[in-house]
Amino acid sequence: MAERPLQFLNPDGQLIEKSPVDLDRAVALYRDMVLARVYDKKGVALQKQGRLATYAPFEGQEAAQVASAATLEQGDWMVPSYREPAAMWMHGYPMELLIATRRGTELGGSPPDDVRVLPVSIPVGSHMLHAVGLAWAERLRGTDRVAITYFGDGATSEGDFHEAMNFAGVLNAGCIFFCQNNGWAISLPREEQTAAETIAHKAVGYGMPGVLVDGNDALAVYEATRTAVERARSGAGPTLIEAQTYRMGPHSTADDPGRYRSPDATEEWRTRDPVERLRRYLADQGSWTPEWQAELEQDGSALVEQAVVTAETLPTFRPEEMFDGMFAELPPGIAAQRAEAGAI
Amino acid sequence: MAERPLQFLNPDGQLIEKSPVDLDRAVALYRDMVLARVYDKKGVALQKQGRLATYAPFEGQEAAQVASAATLEQGDWMVPSYREPAAMWMHGYPMELLIATRRGTELGGSPPDDVRVLPVSIPVGSHMLHAVGLAWAERLRGTDRVAITYFGDGATSEGDFHEAMNFAGVLNAGCIFFCQNNGWAISLPREEQTAAETIAHKAVGYGMPGVLVDGNDALAVYEATRTAVERARSGAGPTLIEAQTYRMGPHSTADDPGRYRSPDATEEWRTRDPVERLRRYLADQGSWTPEWQAELEQDGSALVEQAVVTAETLPTFRPEEMFDGMFAELPPGIAAQRAEAGAI
Amino acid sequence: MASRTLAQAITLALDNALGRSDDIIVLGEDVGRTGGVFRITDGLRAKHGAHRVVDTPLAESGIVGTALGLAVAGMRPVVELQFMGFSYPAFDQIISHVARMRHRTRHRFTVPMVIRIPYGGGIGAAEHHSESTETIYAHIPGLKVVVPSRPADAAGMLRAAIEDPDPVIFLEPIRMYRSVKEEVPDDSPPARLDTSTVERLGSDITLVSWGAMMKETREAAEKLAASGVSAEVVDLRCLAPMNVDTLAASVRKTGRAVVIHEAPRSAGLGAEVIASLQEHCAYDLEAPVARVTGWDTVIPLKMAEHHYLPSTERIVTTAERVLAS
Amino acid sequence: MASRTLAQAITLALDNALGRSDDIIVLGEDVGRTGGVFRITDGLRAKHGAHRVVDTPLAESGIVGTALGLAVAGMRPVVELQFMGFSYPAFDQIISHVARMRHRTRHRFTVPMVIRIPYGGGIGAAEHHSESTETIYAHIPGLKVVVPSRPADAAGMLRAAIEDPDPVIFLEPIRMYRSVKEEVPDDSPPARLDTSTVERLGSDITLVSWGAMMKETREAAEKLAASGVSAEVVDLRCLAPMNVDTLAASVRKTGRAVVIHEAPRSAGLGAEVIASLQEHCAYDLEAPVARVTGWDTVIPLKMAEHHYLPSTERIVTTAERVLAS
Ligand SMILES: Cc1ncc(C[n+]2csc(CCOP(=O)(O)OP(=O)(O)O)c2C)c(N)n1
Ligand SMILES: Cc1ncc(C[n+]2csc(CCOP(=O)(O)OP(=O)(O)O)c2C)c(N)n1
Ligand SMILES: [Mg+2]
Ligand SMILES: [Mg+2]
């Protein structure tokens, strides 16, 4: 078990080891991370304006999401929790549907047929098992597709995390368990969530590799995930990745972090910001200019704005759909209720 | 993490390290282990005669149960599963009540007031949490009492095992997790239960020590448990003990091991028999004679017979008790049903 | 066609399904090597392979959650949970995901899964082995909950459940596994999963039940017949979504009814039967519908179990009381 | 005495209980530092100590199972589960152990535990945050299930629940937390946990509900009054073990009833109310008891939630229909 997280870029954006990716890839990651930050800012703003019902900010976690999702191939499965919009759209989930979900409509839960991303999962810890089943199914079908699942530090305390890890180990499933340890589960700090030295250590109990990675270093996240994906794809089995990062904002727009943590820790983490870190690296490589940054932000804003407009002009969820959505074929008893509801 | 299990007596009963216990203790353990074997034989026989509704044999696991329970003090808590009658009576649970439970009557579930042993728990993996709560309560009360909980290799796959271990780690609870890894969970071999190298390795994920012990070596079991109990009592926290042993008989009297395992493995384990091993050691020490053995078996049989008689002459569970047992005070609705049942 | 027990009919249906499609995968604790605690999957692993009849680790939530992943990927998992009392660790997966995935994704991801759950008392088992909490599952939108009470129907219902595009909780009455035999085709066509069956025609009173309690219900009808009472017997079969058309038609005819179940009375499924009848045919009722049920207590262990489970006698007496009122 | 919201009344009751006995320990996710997602335990950690108001790891089964150990050892744990939809991972602990320990041990070991569960829709929350599955808990023998609908009652009921020697599921209607205020004593005496309350006298029809739906039920009674219908309003309060004496007395008087709940209709607790009324006063009923409930569907997210939750209008219309029949 590595005691120090995998890192390529130090907090100042200096390369401390040979980069595992070429510059093009680093540039692409940066572009998506800027988009992620633009999206997140927009999400917080929309919620303040009452245009979203709920929102779970992920500022600070852009590298963990973008760089991990970038390692996947079309056809691989993604099973997210609720704080990974960037990972989800990276893998094809339409941004407008993510916004739709947050607006409080069922329309957000249904990605296009060729998108293999499950919708947001709310019950903490419950969804990792689904990834195990998906990966297992691919093996049974003889494909080399893998499944990645995202979850937080808090989720590792749920029994279902344990069962998922254990099933994956026993089945040798092609599954990547990607833990975004952002230091907090609402108000509970990581130290009180578990007495384990690191979350990566938990892999020992399931006979799988546990990889600790600096979650704010996009290059490290990419490399760790790429390795795990390759391992899974080759049939060698699952990996647990702990990406150490930080939730810079509140848990949700209803949360007030001032109640449980000091702003100092947050400010300390700001010096390790994943976007700024990658920016410095690119700047050092001569691959970043202020003009390009402005362009990225403008393009990102335009994209997000467009997604918001699309989300806000989606058709409304009609009451009949409540009933029609339950089964492939409407059972008689529910049909009667549908009629009753229609008559009201 | 130790790669080899703690062992003092090799399978031939030879001391390979200085004994951790004096001869008196070894003699006492042997006496109780012979009693355990007598009890187990009787249990199987009674079930065959239709005098027990169910029975879960534990031949081969006598050292694991007797020597671990022998380390406890009065006032410590024990939270068993369903295959530890010997551990239970070692800690004061009346043998006749254990038989009563197996006969299929509620009367078995209620130990005397000074006995801090919870009754048999059937839902696999669910009861370890109770031990964590008990240990925590003792700390809150300012005592140094500890809680030990018994469970099998199969139980470690349940989510509740994980939650119990994690809570114990975080609370630093004075709790001993005693896993009798008897190689099988009904028909599932340990290797398919988890991909972990050993069950003891699972302790890593909770920041607690994991101790591997030869579960058929009474001296090793005693020493490992004594150390864990001391650790718990001193406030230093929980320990996971994996006692490697073997279920020589069927899972229950309804099970047919011939369907899933070869008799060879069982015979191989017979050479590591815990009772015979300790006998040889005592014989080497001049502390065992055939006459004493005969006496032990006779005394044991008499004790067990007496317990059977007591169990079989307990008052019957009256139908009213069904209702009266539900709450401290009979609620009106249930009182009505009680009357209705009485009228039938 | 051969004479088969309910257990054999279920085994046969599983065997046929495994033979019919490679998408079917049977999984659960001890279902492989040893053929399950009730030997329902006996022989299937040898015949269809260890990758299709899978012994899982001991974790019910894990089994169901993993099976959900299989199902979303297009497989058709048939899960066995050993006893209803051990379905509870999987409850969150069932209610929060299995039942909701279709709705959550507007038909994009679906869960064609069967969860087989042996249930009910009367076998003198240890605690937690005699549960009958069908109403809990019946209350969850998005699940179909069905229970056979005859071998031939069991085979057809299980086939239909496996072929159903939605999750089906398939309850199996333990004490009927080997207590009845009837002719069961070697390959049953799928049975309806949204209807009830009138098993016996009668004109004075309707007795309605499901699963294991059908035995005592049938016996009660016999006894009543002996004393000149013509009881109609309805096997509800499909508990959710419930379709009371057949039952209501029966009650419209007889004007009286008794509903029988072994679960505790309060908030049991009998209450839904009564409420539904009241909504469908209140004005045809000549007397209140009566319930013969388990009590609002824990079901006792072997030696006192008979004090709990509804007896034929209790059904007869209650029917007579209803007839007298 | 001061004017307090339901949330404040609950906070006060917890505060008083913690002050009264060192055996009380409040535990759950985020109950300490941040005072819980609804701020119900706000300030209690600072006042009573981090060892008595405990932030636990994120694991509901772990919380309840550990609390059971505390209770058996003589403590009086008061558990908070954040939302009813997150009570399901603890379901096995609740049904298999919390509800049964007394029975299993014939009063030797008992579980004086309160499990507080905020429940119900109408707050525009994310999926799983609007559940109302009270009937599931009400079906489990060995549990008391109660739900207040007024601040003063909430304080008294919570006190009684905490002092009760048996496990109590204490449901808290989320959308009422801060929507009503009334005078609540600084230290409420314990309230009864086995009775219902007639809130408003009437002679034409009985409206019975509980928890959050009492708001619409009260409004419906007002509206009906405006059109000359005298509706009696019963707050069921204590869902299990259910005591319908008060309700039956009301229905005997009015001859008509509507039961209102937000849970799905099928196998919901309204069915039990109907079945019980039928057993207690069938011959006093002048019309079938009607149900106004949530549908047998998943409750929609914010934008469509109003299509699901029973409205005042639906209650009024249904009552009028019952009155006309
Ligand atoms: C089973 C369950 N319990 C409780 C909650 C309420 N809840 C939502 S998020 C959260 C904290 C999750 O923390 P973590 O897993 O670290 O993820 P993060 O929010 O930090 O991304 C809690 C307790 C829930 N959604 N599901
Ligand atoms: C939750 C639950 N699932 C399934 C069962 C059925 N069952 C009883 S014992 C057992 C195997 C347990 O194996 P292990 O934990 O190794 O203990 P052992 O029986 O070997 O002592 C199973 C599956 C149960 N009792 N509880
Ligand atoms: Mg977190
Ligand atoms: Mg075992």
pLDDT tens by residue, A68-118: 999 999 999 999 999 999 999 999 999 999 999 999 999 999 999 999 999
| Nearest-by-CA chain A residue for B169 | A195
Q: Out of C65, C109, C141, name the one closest to residue A118 (CB).
A: C109
Q: With an 8 Å Cβ cutoff, are D69 and B137 in contact?
A: yes
Backbone angles phi, psi at D28, to 5 degrees: 160, 180
Ligand 1 nearest-atom number relative to CA A186: 11
Could you tell me which chains touch chain D, where touching means 3 or more CB pairs under 8 A?
A, B, C
* Neighbouring C-beta atoms of residue B46, cutoff 10 Å: 20
* Residue B2 pLDDT level (bands cut at 50, 70, 90): low
For chain A, the residue count is 344
Over range C156-166, report the average pLDDT. Answer: 98
Q: Out of A113, A133, A331, name the one closest to residue C69 (CB).
A: A133
* Residue B342 pLDDT level (bands cut at 50, 70, 90): confident
Chain A environment of D302 (Cβ under 8 Å)? 53, 103-105
Chain C environment of D140 (Cβ under 8 Å)? 264
Chain C environment of D95 (Cβ under 8 Å)? 88, 133
Q: Put residue D288 in one of left, alpha, beta given phi > 0 → left and psi -120 to 50 → alpha.
A: beta
Is the bond preceding C241 in cis, omega lying within 30 degrees of 0?
yes
Chain B environment of D242 (Cβ under 8 Å)? 333
Q: Position of tokens 């049977």?
A: C26
Q: What pLDDT, on the 0 to 100 scale, is given for residue A1?
A: 62
* Neighbouring C-beta atoms of residue C110, cutoff 10 Å: 17
Give percent above pLDDT 90 in chain C: 99
pLDDT of B149 above 70: yes
Over range B154-162, report the average pLDDT. Answer: 98
Q: Out of B157, B193, B207, name the one closest to residue A195 (CB).
A: B207
Over range C166-188, report the average pLDDT. Answer: 97
> Are B269 and B248 a contacting pair, CB within 8 Å?
yes
CB contact, 8 Å: D67 with chain B? Answer: yes
> Are B38 and B297 a contacting pair, CB within 8 Å?
yes
3-state secondary structure (DSSP) of residue C170: strand
Q: With an 8 Å Cβ cutoff, are C302 and B103 in contact?
A: yes
**What predicted TM-score, i.e. pTM, was given to this entire model?**
0.98
Q: Position of tokens 């362009």?
A: A295
Ligand 1 nearest-atom number relative to CA A123: 26
Q: With an 8 Å Cβ cutoff, are A166 and B192 in contact?
A: no
For chain C, the residue count is 325
Chain B environment of C32 (Cβ under 8 Å)? 187
Q: Is A185's C-beta closer than 6 angstroms to any atom of ligand 1?
A: yes
Instruction: Give me ligand 2 centre to Cα B202, in Å.
Output: 19
Best probe residue, ligand 2, of B124, B191, B253 (max atoms within 8 Å of C-beta): B124
- From the list D138, D159, D116, D135, the residue with the least C-alpha distance to D19 is D159
Over range A237-245, report the average pLDDT. Answer: 98
CB contact, 8 Å: D50 with chain B? Answer: no
Is the bond preceding D241 in cis, omega lying within 30 degrees of 0?
yes
pLDDT digits (tens, 9 = 90+) for B243-298: 999 999 999 988 999 999 999 999 999 999 999 999 999 999 999 999 999 999 99
Instruction: Give me ligand 2 centre to Cα A61, in Å.
Output: 41
Element at A42 (helix H, strand E): helix A23-48
Over range A216-223, report the average pLDDT. Answer: 98
> Are B337 and C295 a contacting pair, CB within 8 Å?
yes
Residue B201 annotated to the active site? no
pLDDT digits (tens, 9 = 90+) for A135-193: 999 999 999 999 999 999 999 999 999 999 999 999 999 999 999 999 999 999 999 99
Q: Put residue A142 in one of left, alpha, beta given phi > 0 → left and psi -120 to 50 → alpha.
A: left
Ligand 2 nearest-atom number relative to CA B156: 15
Q: What pLDDT, on the 0 to 100 scale, is given for residue A147?
A: 98
Q: Out of B158, B170, B201, name the one closest to residue A205 (CB).
A: B201
Q: Is A71's C-beta closer than 6 angstroms to any atom of ligand 1?
A: no
d(CA C36, CA B255): 10
Give percent above pLDDT 70 in chain C: 100
Q: Position of tokens 């993993």?
A: C66
Chain B environment of C59 (Cβ under 8 Å)? 125, 157-159
Residue C107 annotated to the active site? no
d(CA A279, CA A194): 34
Q: With an 8 Å Cβ cutoff, are B129 and D66 in contact?
A: yes
The stretches in chain D having pLDDT less than 50 are: none
Minimal Cα–Cα distance from B326 to chain D, Å? Answer: 5
Contacts of B179 (CB under 8 A, 6+ apart): B150, B151, B152, B153, B155, B156, B199, B240, B241, B242, B243
Give Cα separations from C101 to A137, C112, D120, D254 (angstroms).
17, 10, 21, 44
Q: What pLDDT, on the 0 to 100 scale, is given for residue B155?
A: 98
> Are D168 and D143 a contacting pair, CB within 8 Å?
yes
Q: With an 8 Å Cβ cutoff, are B170 and A158 in contact?
A: no
d(CA A315, CA B219): 73
Q: With an 8 Å Cβ cutoff, are D166 and B327 in contact?
A: yes
Q: Which residues pair with C205 in a beta bridge?
A: C231
- From the list D272, D270, D265, the residue with the least C-alpha distance to D297 is D265
d(CA A164, CA C26): 18
Give Cα separations from A186 to A160, B250, D36, D48 (angstroms).
19, 48, 10, 22
Over range C202-209, report the average pLDDT. Answer: 98
Backbone angles phi, psi at B141, to 5 degrees: -80, -10
Q: Out of A122, A185, A322, name the one closest to residue D127 (CB).
A: A122
Minimal Cα–Cα distance from D305 to chain B, Å? Answer: 33
Contacts of B86 (CB under 8 A, 6+ apart): B32, B33, B35, B36, B39, B58, B61, B62, B65, B66, B69
**Residue type at position C76:** R
* Residue C211 pLDDT level (bands cut at 50, 70, 90): very high
Q: With an 8 Å Cβ cutoff, are B207 and A193 in contact?
A: no
Average pLDDT, chain C: 97
CB contact, 8 Å: D298 with chain C? Answer: yes
Q: What pLDDT, on the 0 to 100 scale, is given for residue B1?
A: 62
* Neighbouring C-beta atoms of residue D21, cutoff 10 Å: 12
d(CA C297, CA D233): 31
d(CA B302, CA B314): 18
Minimal Cα–Cα distance from D131 to chain A, Å? Answer: 13
Active-site position among B37, B251, B272, B280: B251
Interface of A with B (CB under 8 A): 157-163, 166, 169-170, 172, 192-197, 201-208
